[in-house]
């Protein structure tokens, strides 16, 4: 089911939560909406769900108008599933009762349907008689997902559902959710503050700031070809340098490096990701290691270059990492991205 938003506005008094948001979500795809706190991403989810009414704009789900001026479809008629950050399970109900909450009591084979939903999200049948406080955080989120799937929604909305889980459990639960929703062909919108989560979960990433949608597109496009430095920095560490660009290269503090835009000319800003820098003995550019941060399988080096006032960061294997104070050579992998002029 496709989801289309056009010119969606929402204000809370003098605060603009959404400012003319346009967004297209393809049928059966997964879109992750990311942005700093106060960017409007949760408000966006709430107006799509029908919890909040926009001040202006149009929202359409697979041809059904959810909101357009005075026309406003109530939440219970939208065929939208919602999974919140804490799961929002009913503590006095069993797992089976939570999953079946949205199903009619008279529905044929109701218990079989509940058991099938539990199996779909990887819950053992023995858990159906338990109450939520007897489950782990990951298991509770699986129950919440099964409950949302019970009514066969056309659209699934996920509001930071993995943020309370530890790192390992978050990754496995996220993959399970992606697999279940993908197999069911359900269009999904995920709100998250975790950039890595957005890039790995979604087919499309939408970056918001100040209530505005800055850029939306495939994860690799936004990561390597962001429209603005703000988008670049929000999706991970970015090395942004002034440069003179022309003839397919940029001349900057890192020397002469190729750029993706062969038509770009003049004084511009360019971007590299830290993983595009590598320590190389024969590197023409030299730098001094200021600090080394150990992160298990890799480390993050901060290097000071003579031609650049701020230290640059790069990632490399933790094995054989140079010590602080060491002078090293640098090489650049791939091409630099050139930002459009302001």
User: Based on the domain organization, do 106 and 255 belong to the same domain?
Assistant: no
Give 87's pLDDT tier (boundaries 50, 70, 90).
low
Q: Count of domains in the chain?
A: 2
User: What's the pLDDT score for residue 205?
Assistant: 97
Residue 39 has pLDDT above 70, yes or no: yes
CATH number at residue 241: 2.40.50.140
Residue 177 has pLDDT above 70, yes or no: yes
Give 165's pLDDT tier (boundaries 50, 70, 90).
confident
User: Based on the domain organization, do 171 and 276 belong to the same domain?
Assistant: no
User: Based on the domain organization, do 118 and 255 belong to the same domain?
Assistant: no
Write the pLDDT tens digit of every residue in 113-140. Answer: 899 889 888 888 889 999 998 988 888 8
Give 34's pLDDT tier (boundaries 50, 70, 90).
very high
Higher pLDDT, 102 or 30: 30
User: Based on the domain organization, do 219 and 244 belong to the same domain?
Assistant: no
Among the ranges given (216-220, 222-226, 296-300, 306-310), the one the predictor scored with the smallest mean pLDDT = 306-310
Write the pLDDT tens digit of every residue in 243-291. Answer: 999 999 999 999 999 999 989 999 999 999 999 998 887 777 899 999 9
pTM above 0.85, yes or no: yes
User: Based on the domain organization, do 118 and 175 belong to the same domain?
Assistant: yes
Report the share of the chain in percent with pLDDT over 70.
Answer: 100
The average confidence (pLDDT) of the chain is 91
Write the pLDDT tens digit of every residue in 146-162. Answer: 898 888 899 999 998 88
Mean pLDDT of all residues in 326-339? 93
Higher pLDDT, 21 or 196: 21
The three-state (H, E, C) secondary structure of the chain, written as one string: CCEEEEEEEEEECCEEEEEEEEEEECCCCEEEEECCCCCCHHHHHHHHHCCCCCCEEEEEECCEEEEECCEECCHHHCCEEEECCCCCCCCCCCHHHHHHHHCCCCCCCHHHHHHHHHHHCCCCHHHHHCCHHHCCHHHHHHHHHHHHHCCCCCEEEEECCCCCCCHHHHHHHHHHHHHHHHHHCCEEEEECCCHHHHHHHCCEEEEEECCEEEEEECHHHHHHCCCCHHHHHHCCCCEEEEEEEECCEEEECCEEEEECCCCCCEEEEEEECHHHEEECCCCCEEEEEEEEEECCCEEEEEEEECCEEEEEEEEEECCCCCCCCCEEEEEECCCEEECCCC
CATH number at residue 202: 3.40.50.300
User: Based on the domain organization, do 67 and 211 belong to the same domain?
Assistant: yes
Domain enclosing residue 288, as ranges: 237-338
User: Based on the domain organization, do 31 and 175 belong to the same domain?
Assistant: yes
User: Based on the domain organization, do 334 and 187 belong to the same domain?
Assistant: no
User: Based on the domain organization, do 180 and 322 belong to the same domain?
Assistant: no
């Amino acid at each position: 089911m496709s989801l289309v938003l056009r010119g969606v506005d929402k204000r809370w008094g003098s605060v603009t939560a959404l400012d003319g948001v346009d967004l297209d979500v393809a049928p059966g795809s997964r879109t992750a909406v990311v942005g700093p706190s106060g960017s409007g991403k949760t408000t966006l989810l709430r107006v799509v769900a029908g919890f909040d009414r926009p001040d202006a704009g149009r929202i359409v789900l697979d041809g059904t108008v959810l909101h357009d001026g005075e026309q406003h479809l109530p939440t219970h008629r939208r065929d939208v599933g919602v999974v919140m950050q804490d799961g929002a399970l009913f503590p006095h109900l069993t797992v089976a009762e939570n999953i079946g909450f949205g199903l009619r009591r008279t529905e044929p084979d109701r218990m079989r349907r509940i058991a099938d939903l539990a199996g779909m999200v990887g819950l053992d049948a023995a858990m159906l008689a338990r109450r939520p406080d007897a489950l782990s955080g990951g298991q509770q989120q699986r129950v919440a997902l099964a409950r949302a799937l019970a009514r066969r929604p056309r659209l699934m909305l996920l509001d930071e559902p993995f943020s309370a889980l530890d790192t390992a459990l978050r990754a496995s639960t996220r993959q399970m959710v992606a697999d279940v929703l993908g197999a069911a062909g359900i269009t999904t919108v995920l709100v998250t503050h975790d950039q890595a989560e957005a890039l790995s979960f979604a087919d499309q990433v939408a970056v918001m700031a100040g209530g505005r949608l800055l850029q939306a597109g495939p994860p690799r496009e936004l990561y390597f070809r962001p429209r603005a430095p703000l988008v670049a920095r929000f999706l991970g560490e970015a090395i942004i340098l002034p440069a003179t660009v022309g003839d397919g290269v940029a001349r900057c503090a890192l020397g002469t490096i190729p750029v993706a835009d062969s038509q770009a000319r003049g004084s511009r800003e360019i971007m590299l990701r830290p993983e595009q820098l590598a320590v190389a003995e024969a590197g023409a550019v030299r730098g001094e290691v200021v600090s080394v941060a150990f992160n298990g399988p890799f480390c993050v080096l901060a290097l000071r270059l003579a031609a650049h006032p701020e230290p640059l960061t790069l990632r490399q294997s933790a094995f054989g990492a140079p010590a602080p104070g060491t002078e090293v050579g640098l090489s650049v992998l791939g091409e630099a991205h050139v930002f459009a002029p302001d």
